[in-house]
Structure 1
Amino acid sequence: MLLSGLKVVEWATWVAGPGCAGLMADWGAEVIKVESPIGDATRAFYPDTAESPGNPVFTLENRGKRGIVLDTTRPEGRAALVRLLEDADVLVTNVRPGSLKKLGLDYDSLKDRFPRLIYANVTGYGLTGEMADTAAFDITAFWARSGVAHSTIPPDQEPFPSRPGFGDHFTALATLSGILAAVHERSQTGRGRQVETALLRVGAYAIGWDLSLQLRYGDVLTAQPKKDRMVALSGFFHTADDRWFVVVVKSADDYPNVLKAIDRADILDDPECLPPMTDVHKVRYVRAALETAFDALTLEEAGAMLNSLDVAWAPMDSLLDLEMNPQAHEAGCFVEVGDGAGGTFWSPASPVRFPGLDTSPRRPAPKLGQHTREVLREKGLTDAEIDAAVGAQPA
């Protein structure tokens, strides 16, 4: 496996940190997930039960890991965590910077003791500044504060939140890329380093096209009401069978070709209707003609026409549509995972495929504290030391 031999300790909750470590587990790393006695908060979503084993949300972020419980509010729990780092290559944590420093588990407190350790901080707003310890989720830091929501939601619509875990998964990928860069550097220098990602910073990068214009020119035109958009053929259209599809103009030929295909070549006789169009009323006129034509076609008919013209388009599919799409299976979008009770179910796959290499999860997501004694005994702790580190008998 790609990351065989890489030892990762994950002391994180929710999505971005666990998601990063989960990708490394998919790719062969040995990942030990450290949880408090009450467990990762995502265990409470669609909880694992005898009738329905295998929490799909928790499994997505935590399959393939071994899981232990430590009470890091106790000195024995913190000492056990440090023991785990003795032969670890990577630590991934989203504990807030102030709490890490208070516990003596921040990077500066550990770097001299573990010079080869790659210490990855997943944060909301970064490690410094007045907001470093502010509570953050992807909906607050990635979606709202970064400008992503403001740039995405047209001003004539009521604001809405992003879907759960959306920005977290961007941040998981960013954190993973930073860790792998540090692993490469360590192969040359023999030393680890601190890696830091912030939901805010990742959001700024994700909206980078718009942000680059804002930074360069001091202004940028972002999401607009449909009636004010100046490209008639670009955007979503409705069909006779109550479906929606989107068109993205990729060629100067797309516009005239589509108008001819819907028997509206007459529009091309008006110079003011030729790109680049500057009169919004003309744009609305052309868009209305396109909408009328597409509203008379089924999605299959509209798609066939656009395909024949080599126009870039796609239906607005549901998650069920994606699940049933043969191309999604060809692209490797799904993977079969264990439910922890002898059965299996389908889950989203990691976003990268390595043709010829099986990166299927090696084990189900761990039950709370499932591997506590196994892992800590491997580190030389006695049963009494384990009990003190956990603060209660692990599951």
Structure 2
Amino acid sequence: MLLKGLKVVEFASYIAAPGAAGILGDWGAEVIKVERPGGDAMRHVFADAKSDLAGNPTFEMDNRGKRSVVLDIGRPEGREALARLAASADVFLTNVRAQSLRKAGLDEASLRAANPRLIYALVTGYGMEGPEADTPGFDVTAFWARAGVARMHAPKGQDPFLLRTGVGDHITSLATVSAILAAVYEREQTGVGRLVQTSLLATGVYVVGSDLAVQLRFGRLLSNRPRTAPLDPTANFYRSADDRWFVVNPRGGSADWPLLAKAAGRPELVEDERFRTSRLRKDNSPLLVAELDAAFGAMDFAEVERRLTEADLAWAPAQTPAEVAADPQVRAAHALVEVEDGRGGTNASPAAPAVFPGAQPDSRPPAPALGQHTREILAEIGYTDAEIEAMFAAAAVA
């Protein structure tokens, strides 16, 4: 794999930072997951669920193929072991708050003094500077709410709503991977590592950057509109007679409008005085939505699919998660990867969103049990059997 030989020590929990390490692992890096006693909180996400479903696919997705060591950094032996791990690593990746890392002697200056080639990657909620640098942040707070993403997605007049699990986290994972690999490239030129930092807040600002750039330049921005009165009714969601939602998104200009009207079985709408220009279609948006609702609502989905596809329009079904899981194109796009279940079989899981033809793994190992590799990892960094047993006895490791 592409990153074979790159050693990553992950001292992190939840999703954003472990997700970044998971992507690096999928691409061939060796990832050692350092957990505190009790483990990453995401290990326990389904612990209280009243369900007969086995497993924790949310945790497994971001942690497949890693090795787990449990260290208590509240004890000197645990702190020393983590520092020794970092001294042998290419990348130290963490989302622990900076003040806690400094107190434990695990800050960037301390670890890079012992290992100048180390790339120290820090994932935060709100960045490293400013009065709120140490404020705790999750994707729903720092990414979704504080960065304005929630208000920009809720249509005007509607209440904000929560985002699904890990959306902002996983986008931040991708940003973090990009930053780490840029630093790896720089180190190849200079021989020296560096600090890299990403935040949920900055990721959120970038994700809505196309619109926020307008706000920054002009001091105002159009709000999101309800489906029944969009800014452009030719770029909208519609529903078939058999209750299947789909979205159409015409290319720039008005070239696709006649094709859409014809696909809807209403070619005369092109010459309708209410809809002749893009400005008129915008001004009369609710009226055109009603016309297209009635037109597409009289067809079953198979007919809608045939017409839109034959017109070569940009469109897609609005699929449920179950439909995504069964979609053959999802598999063809290598959007899923098989993960070993430890019993001789595999389970499908979302893959890191990049394809390297000829270097795609057939499957990935499962996520580790808590502390599954503590003894072997300590031995690899020079601890003797007696020292390891003493650390277990002192509850510095588990």
Q: By the TM > 0.5 criterion, same fold?
A: yes
Aligned to 1:38: 38
Aligned to 1:5: 5
SS, match of residue 354 in structure 2: coil
| 1:187-226 equivalent positions in 2, closer than 5 A | 187-226=188-227
Number of aligned residue pairs: give it. 393
Deviation readout 1:179-231 (Å, 9 max, x if unpaired): 00100100110000001000000111111111111111111113122344231
CA 1:365–1:342: 2 relative to 1, 3 Å: same
Aligned to 1:63: 64
Are 1:354 and 2:356 matched, yes or no? yes
Give the counterpart letter for 2:68 in structure 1.
G
TM-superposed CA distance for 1:349, in Å, is: 1.4
Aligned to 1:85: 86
CA–CA separation in structure 2 for the residues paired with 1:309 and 1:171? 37
Deviation readout 1:133-163 (Å, 9 max, x if unpaired): 1111111111111011111111232221111
TM-superposed CA distance for 1:12, in Å, is: 0.3
Give the counterpart letter for 1:324 in structure 2.
A
CA–CA separation in structure 1 for the residues paired with 2:115 and 2:22? 23
TM-superposed CA distance for 1:100, in Å, is: 1.2
CA–CA separation in structure 2 for the residues paired with 1:173 and 1:323? 22
CA–CA separation in structure 2 for the residues paired with 1:118 and 1:262? 55
Are 1:392 and 2:383 matched, yes or no? no
Aligned to 2:315: 313
Q: TM-score with structure 1 length normalisation?
A: 0.94
Aligned to 2:15: 15
Deviation readout 1:317-376 (Å, 9 max, x if unpaired): 011111111111111121111223444211111211111113345522110000001000
CA 1:128–1:306: 2 relative to 1, 3 Å: same
Contact 1:53 1:340 (C-alpha < 8 Å) held by counterparts: no
**Does 243-252 or 180-189 show the bigger shift?**
243-252
Contact 2:341 2:366 (C-alpha < 8 Å) held by counterparts: yes
CA 1:388–1:215: 2 relative to 1, 3 Å: farther
| 1:1-395 equivalent positions in 2, closer than 5 A | 1-46=1-46, 54-251=55-252, 252-278=254-280, 282-386=284-388, 389=391, 391-392=394-395
Q: Runs of 5+ in structure 2 lacking a partner?
A: none
Contact 2:9 2:92 (C-alpha < 8 Å) held by counterparts: yes
Give the counterpart letter for 1:190 in structure 2.
G
CA–CA separation in structure 2 for the residues paired with 1:65 and 1:345? 17
Give the counterpart letter for 2:323 in structure 1.
D
CA 1:336–1:280: 2 relative to 1, 3 Å: closer
TM-superposed CA distance for 1:265, in Å, is: 3.4
Q: TM-score with structure 2 length normalisation?
A: 0.93
TM-superposed CA distance for 1:74, in Å, is: 1.0
Contact 1:15 1:61 (C-alpha < 8 Å) held by counterparts: yes
SS, match of residue 34 in structure 2: strand
CA–CA separation in structure 2 for the residues paired with 1:47 and 1:377? 32
CA–CA separation in structure 1 for the residues paired with 2:289 and 2:131? 48
SS, match of residue 112 in structure 1: helix
Q: Runs of 5+ in structure 1 lacking a partner?
A: none
The percent identity for this pair of structures is 51
